[in-house]
Structure formats: structure tokens, C-alpha cells
Amino acid sequence: MFSNKESFQKVFLKKLEMTYGKSFKESTVQDQYHTLGNMVREYISSDWIATNEAQRSNHSKQVYYLSIEFLLGRLLGQNLLNLGIKEVVEEGLKDLNISLEEIEEIEADAGLGNGGLGRLAACFLDSLASLNLPGHGCGIRYKHGLFDQKIVDGFQVELPEQWLRHGNSWEVRKVDQSIEVNFWGDVEYYSDNGKLAFRHINGESILAVPYDIPVVGYDTTTVNTLRLWNAEPASFPVHKDVMQYKRETEAVSEFLYPDDTHEDGKILRLKQQYFLVSASLQSIVRSHRIVYGTLANLHEKVAIHINDTHPVLAIPELMRILLDEEKLSWDDAWHITTQTISYTNHTTLSEALEKWPIHLFKPLLPRIYMIVEEINQRFCEELWKRYPYQWKRIEDMAIIAHDMVKMAHLAIVGSHKVNGVAKIHTDILKKREMKNFFDFYPQKFINKTNGITHRRWLLKANPELSILLNETIGDEWVKNPYALKQLESYAQDKNFKDQLKKVKQQRKDILSEVIKKQTGIEINPQSIFDVQVKRLHAYKRQLLNVLHIMYLYNRLKEDSNFKIVPRTFIFGAKASPGYYYAKKVIKLINSVADVVNSDPVTSPFLKVVFLENYRVSLAEDVFTAADVSEQISTASKEASGTGNMKFMMNGALTVGTMDGANVEIAEVVGENNMFIFGLSSEEVLHYQQNGGYRSFDYYHHDQRIKKVLEQLTNGFFKNTYDLFEPIYDSLLMQNDEYYVLRDFASYVQAQEKVNQAYGDKDKWFEMSALNIAQSGYFSSDRTISEYAKEIWEINSSKQILSY
């Protein structure tokens, strides 16, 4: 049906009529989108079946990537590109006077994630399929993804997100493969032929119904599966209010990250985690048994990866299956479990490390808790053997301590590999945050620097640049992102740089239109587009960026000789609904925007835009249009960052601290091709360990800082006298935990360099070209090839490129 545009049209029109009972003329864009989506999914199905059959009959080892988040964004455009049918469809639709772009725009983002961690999972799925690796995702089919953000009077307001409202063309409900997951109840002890055995009884059961989404590789017939679990009532209990049971059950897959400020919310989150893990593990084991008839070789044929600690209950759940159902000995079960599971750590921030109070955990998951206790007991015995009488060390490393279950400790003990997500992050884990564990298990720790799929973030998001690359170095880069290196030899080529500049301008014009439509703000498309898009968090220091804008505003007002290249500062960020401070920063950005944008003296030079509802589809327009990439976290705090890579791949220059993957960007592109500033992670650590930082000193000695901080509380922003006091207090009264004032002067200097560098366009686009040329290293194809070889030990059904 996609062999030529005529046959496409015929099927499309017929299907549209049959599905909606409408003529083409009566159909809406929504109808057309779903018709096309369903056609594409049907087109994929034969390869999907073939991939599944081949993977079964080849007895190839399978990977399952368990993640509480998958931030897929839209699927239609990427699937058309990967399948190589975009042109036929575009042409076919054009004849019917329909624009493919308009149809693509109607698709709701699958926003089943928060930020980097969830988007990484989505990039990994694309690379797995494109490299012909047998790797599948397991997640939850949240009815509502991450909230929709509205900005009302400068404040963030959250609304429930509704991605499933019009249905989802990509998913296939497989009710026959449903699984029961049990909560609450008791553990029964019984004799199994004289051996003490356990089973979970009197539980309350929830039905996990799988919805499968095909994951299409680029220019290959491999179609892997993303399996999302939906929570539904199993059999209705007799002893309980039926409506209450239904409500409680459906709540499990209703929201991504339910509010956990109250105990009920905490229980719900733990329920979600076990729901994902138990349904996935039972389903993996069932498929394995069908092929091999035993679980004894599970670790040879299955690798299970846990994305952060959210799915860490996979460890005790697999133990439960192997002990209680398969009747293996503890030692055999433990061997299989630890050889099957591997774990990625995504943060060193202690407030983000998961801990569950026993009084919540034990009643909800009684058998799982028993197994965790046993794992802890045996681990502590091993520790005692190695570190006799070192009570403090053993207490610090224990999985259960102070009435809490420490999920990261369980993850390390129960996995054969533990990885950080950038070199500096892994080093910090080894030397500091997880030092005790690294000393005990040195062979487990390994680095896997993150990556992004160049097929979405370059090929799909930036067709203008893709065409220029194809014309300049050919299209080898699409299959082998390292081929982007060939661009190095064009970095001095005047003609190429003119073209690159033109492409950037086209992307900036597109974003300017988007901004005009969304915010009503007219920006100067020739100005420097300086962008910070990421979750709002104190350590990411959006505040440093805003304080710098306030400083520039003050300079422009005070000194008529002060000139800068016109700049548009663009922000996009969602704040966690309960994160009071982060919401203040959003309001501050909007308040600064109001003052700066409406001042006739400064507005020709300075514009500030806060983009509402930052999400994957909007991100595609943002990364591609940026000149400057803001990666300004307090050194040591950002595990990797992946936005930094998306900017680089699209030719933006980085203003950044030596943190996360910025360090490796500097390694490959050279420090002279970016703008590095600020404290190093060692310096931050030194302050943390020895003290010696006093933010007041910076306030008193730097007039620029003094002035902007005073403006936070002196009514400079209309009607906001006490609104920003918490920000002021965090910087001065609480001694500026994130060293914003400490790095201010150095940041201003880096920004002055940006200003100068942009004046020399020839040099600027040379640097830009070199960034693109070196970005191949940050393709998730490289990352996934490393995971495949060094962690999962899986092979591609076809040749994998070696890096």
C-alpha cells in the first residue's frame, strides 16, 4: 500500500471511509491522522510478527528495559522516516490537498515521563531496533502523562494531560496475555515434601493488561516491542466495596508520579513500581518457559535492565518466582537473578535516592519484603566477614536500616553491573556516593555515557540541516553517526558555512513563528537564540541565567555606551507540582520577561520568552533553532544531561560548567569551541567538605550582584514585594547551596565571550560545524552498542557498527 502514491491514496481513502463512515470531504484532520496511523501500524505488523518469531526460533538472548518513564513524543513522523515511506505518503496526501505536517501536528505527545531519564529510554528503544538488537521496553500505560503546563499571570498551573482522549493508533491491546499482580495479604509457610516453602495468600489482585507498541528500526525489518501495562480490576472481591476496588485498581495506571506528599500517594507509587515489575517479570518468564521449558538458563537468554531504582523490585520479584514457583534453592535463584539484572544510576542527589519506610512496604508486599530481608541478612553477613566489627560501615551499606528499605543498595547488591551515565558521574559514584560499594564490588561498576538518537534529534527534527549534510558529506551519517566527522574538513569552507548559517536562520524563523503563535511575543529572528530547556531544578540553575539577564538589563539602562548583540533568552521548563522554590523561579522568569520585553530602551537588545508546556514535540523545534545551549548546573550535580547533546548535534555552542557530559563534549570538540565557566566539581566538593564559602561576600563585593538581588525584593517587579523572598533567602540566608553567586562573575565573562564570538560569523559557524562534526559520539547507537557488548552480552541479528 506504500509502493506508490496512487496505491497509497486508494487504501487511505477506502480505510478512512470504512473506519469513520464519512466521506473524505467530511473527514477531520484527526480522522485522517488515525487512518494514516492505523495504516502504518498494519504495514508494520508482518515485520513485527517476523521479528518476534525470528527472535524466538533463533534462541537469541533478549533484553528487557524496565522503566517507569518512556518519553516517546510523537510517533508518526519518526515511523514514516524509519520505514522509508515518508515521501510516498507526503506526495500521496499532497494530491488530496492534505499536508503531512498538519497531520503530524495533531498527534498527541506520548509524554510518559518527566525529562532526561524517560527520554533516554525512548532514544534507547530507537537505537535497539535500528541496530537490530532484540531489546524491548516495559513500562506503564498511564492514562495521564506528565501534566500540561499553563502559565497564568506568570505562574505555573498544572492540568491533567489527556494523550489517550482520541485513542492511540500505535497500541495493540493483548488481553489474552494479561497477568495478575498481588498486593496485601499474608505469607503462608508450608511443607513442600519436607522442605519449608512460602507462598503469598489472601492478596488483592490487580489485572495487568498489556498494550504493545511496535518499535520500528531505521531502514531495517526489525520491529521490537514496547509493552505498557494497564491496571484493571481482576475478579471483583466479595468482601470489599466493588466501586472502591475499581477506583483503587485503576488508580495504579492513572497518573505518572502521583502526588506523594501524603502516605496514600506514597503507597500508590510503590504499588505502581511493583505492578510494573511483577507484570513484566511474570510475562518475561512465561515467554522464556514456552521456548526453553525451564528457568535454569534464564540468565543466559534474558537480560533485564532497571532504569534507575524505580523498577528495583525486579530483584526480589525474580527471586520470588524462582524460589516459590520454580522451587530453586536460594543460591541457584540468587545466581540467576544477579546474572540477569543490571542497573543504571541517574543521580547522586541524596534527596532523589529512593527509600521506602518498612511500615508501608511490608504490609503491601509481604512476601517481597521477606525476600528483601533475607537478601539484606545474607549481604550483611558477607560484609561482616570482610569488615568484622566495622559497625558503621555495615550500617551504612545495609539494604534495610533505620526502618527504611534503601532501593539503590538493593539495586547494587542484586545486579551484576551498575553504571553511571557520564564519565564524571561514574567517577563520583565510585569515589564518593557509592565508594563503599565500589570497594566491595569493584568489578560491578562501569561507565556508559548517555546518548541521543540522531534519527529523531537531527534527521527528523532538522530536515534542513539533514539535507545540507547529505549534500556535503553524503548520507552515511544516518546509519553511522561517526561519519559526521567528515564535516571537520568543511569547517573552514566559506560556502559551506554560508549554507549552515542559512539553515540555522530557517530554523530560527520557524521557532519565531511558534513563539509568536504561543506567546504573542515578536522576537528578532536575527538575534542570538540563547536557550535553556530542561526540568526546573535548583541545581540546574535557571536562576543564574535569570540573574544574568537582570544584570544585562541594568547595564543597558544605566550605560548608553553599553552595547550587546541582540539576544533572545528562551526558557522551557516544568516544575514538579509540589516544588515550591522551582515554581518561584518560573514566576521570576516571567516577571523579568514582562519588564524587559516592554521596556523600549532594552527591548531591541533583550527579549525573554518562557515557552509554555515544554515537551518532546516542542523540543524538536527548540533544539534545532538554538545558537547558544545553556548547560549551567552546579558542577557535580548533573549526572549527564542529554539536552546538551541535542543542541550540539544541531550546531549550537555550549555555555557550560564542567559537569555531566559537558566534560566529554569538551573532550571531543575542544574547550576552545565552547564557553566553559564556573567552579569545577572538585572545588564544589572542597567547599562542601571544608566550608569556606560565604555568599554574603559575593553580595557585598560585587555591585552587579548586589543590585539584582535587591531588585528581587524592592518592588522592582510590579506587585511582587515578598514573592521572591524565598529566592533571596536561599541565596543569602541559606548561603546559596548551589553556588549561584560564586559562579556569577565567571558566567558573565563567558557570556561576554559569546557576545564577541557571535560578532565574527565566520568563526562562529566554524565552531558550530565542528560541534556537529564531533556529535556522532553522542548518538545513542554508540551507547547502546556498549551496553549490548559490555552489560547485556547480546548480539545483533545483523552487523553492528564498531566504534
Which distant-in-sequence residues (6+ apart) come within 8 Å of 549 by Cβ? 569, 592, 596, 606, 608
User: What CA dihedral angle connects 269, 274, 280 and 286, to 10 degrees?
Assistant: -160
CA nearest to 20, candidates 10, 30, 11: 30
Return the number of other C-beta atoms located less than 10 Å from residue 747's C-beta: 24
Instruction: Give the span between the Cα atoms of 94 and 88, in whole angstroms.
Output: 10
Catalytic residue among 444, 534, 537, 742: 534
The helix (H) or strand (E) run that includes residue 190 is strand 186-192
Q: Is 624 in the site for ligand 26V (CB under 6 A)?
A: no
Q: Is 120 in the site for ligand 26V (CB under 6 A)?
A: yes
Catalytic residue among 337, 348, 642, 654: 642
- H helical segments located in 573-723: 580-598, 616-623, 643-649, 662-669, 681-690, 695-701, 703-713
- Per-residue HEC secondary structure of 554-580 comes to HHHHHCCCCCCCCEEEEEECCCCCCCH
Which residue lies nearer to ligand 26V by CB, 351 or 722? 351
The helix (H) or strand (E) run that includes residue 7 is helix 5-20
DSSP state of 217: P
Dihedral angle sign, alpha carbons of residues 180, 183, 185, 191 = positive
Task: Print the binding letters for residues 406-445 with ligand 26V: x by CB under 6 A, - otherwise.
Answer: ---------------x------------------------
At its nearest, how many Å lie between ligand 26V and the CB of residue 352? 4
Q: Is 635 in the site for ligand 26V (CB under 6 A)?
A: no
At its nearest, how many Å lie between ligand 26V and the CB of residue 375? 24
At its nearest, how many Å lie between ligand 26V and the CB of residue 654? 15
Which residue lies nearer to ligand 26V by CB, 353 or 358? 353
Range in contact with ligand 26V (rule: CB under 6 A) among 91-99, 265-273, 345-353, 669-677: 345-353
Which residue lies nearer to ligand 26V by CB, 318 or 422? 422
Range in contact with ligand 26V (rule: CB under 6 A) among 47-55, 82-90, 498-506, 640-648: 640-648
- H helical segments located in 134-262: 242-250
Q: Is 117 in the site for ligand 26V (CB under 6 A)?
A: yes
367 catalytic per annotation: no
User: What residue type is 113 in one-letter code?
Assistant: G
Q: Which of residues 348-367 bind ligand 26V (CB under 6 A)?
A: 349, 351-352
Range in contact with ligand 26V (rule: CB under 6 A) among 52-60, 109-117, 566-574, 750-758: 109-117
Catalytic residue among 144, 567, 646, 782: 646
Which residue lies nearer to ligand 26V by CB, 120 or 434? 120
CA nearest to 126, candidates 649, 640, 481, 483: 481
**Nearest residue to ligand 26V, scored by beta-carbon proximity:** 116
Range in contact with ligand 26V (rule: CB under 6 A) among 25-33, 110-118, 131-139, 597-605: 110-118
646 catalytic per annotation: yes
Provide the b/e sequence for 273-312 (b: ≥16 CB within 10 Å). Answer: bbbbbbbbbbbbbebbeeeeeebeebbebbbbbbbbbbbb
Query: How many residues sit in the footprint of ligand 26V (CB under 6 A)?
Result: 18
346 catalytic per annotation: yes
Q: Which of residues 652-671 bind ligand 26V (CB under 6 A)?
A: 660
742 catalytic per annotation: no
Provide the b/e sequence for 584-609 (b: ≥16 CB within 10 Å). Answer: bbbbbbbbbbebbbeeeebbebbbbb
Among 462, 640, 650, 768, binds ligand 26V (CB under 6 A): 640
State the maximum Cα–Cα separation within the chain, in Å, rounded to a whole number: 91
Range in contact with ligand 26V (rule: CB under 6 A) among 114-122, 226-234, 287-295, 323-331: 114-122
Question: What is the chain's length?
Answer: 803
All cell numbers assigned to 293: 521449558
**C-beta pairs of 243-252 under 8 Å, 24+ apart in sequence:** 245/204, 249/206, 249/207, 250/143, 252/206
Which distant-in-sequence residues (6+ apart) come within 8 Å of 153 by Cβ? none
Which residue lies nearer to ligand 26V by CB, 344 or 774? 344
Which residue lies nearer to ligand 26V by CB, 214 or 660? 660
Which residue lies nearer to ligand 26V by CB, 211 or 255? 255
At its nearest, how many Å lie between ligand 26V and the CB of residue 620? 18
Among 283, 450, 453, 636, binds ligand 26V (CB under 6 A): 450
Among 92, 217, 641, 678, binds ligand 26V (CB under 6 A): 641
User: What residue type is 357 in one-letter code?
Assistant: P
Which residue lies nearer to ligand 26V by CB, 367 or 406? 406
User: What residue type is 542 in one-letter code?
Assistant: Q
Q: Is 638 in the site for ligand 26V (CB under 6 A)?
A: yes
Among 399, 639, 769, 791, binds ligand 26V (CB under 6 A): 639
Among 9, 642, 751, 783, binds ligand 26V (CB under 6 A): 642
86 catalytic per annotation: no
Measured at the alpha carbon of residue 338, what is the angle toward residues 336 and 343, in degrees to the nearest 5? 140
Task: Print the binding letters for residues 138-167 with ligand 26V: x by CB under 6 A, - otherwise.
Answer: ------------------------------
Task: Print the binding letters for residues 473-512 with ligand 26V: x by CB under 6 A, - otherwise.
Answer: ----------------------------------------
Among 283, 340, 347, 631, binds ligand 26V (CB under 6 A): 347
At its nearest, how many Å lie between ligand 26V and the CB of residue 802? 24
Which residue lies nearer to ligand 26V by CB, 227 or 310? 310
Percent helix, strand and coil across the chain, each rounded to 5?
55, 15, 30
At its nearest, how many Å lie between ligand 26V and the CB of residue 644? 9
642 catalytic per annotation: yes
Judge whether 180 and 234 are in contact, CB under 8 Å.
Answer: yes
CA 744 to chain centre: 29
Return the number of other C-beta atoms located less than 10 Å from residue 396's C-beta: 14
What residues make contact with ligand 26V under the rule CB under 6 A? Answer: 115-117, 120, 308, 346-347, 349, 351-352, 421, 450, 638-642, 660
Report, as residue numbers or ranges, the catalytic residues.
346, 534-535, 540, 642, 646
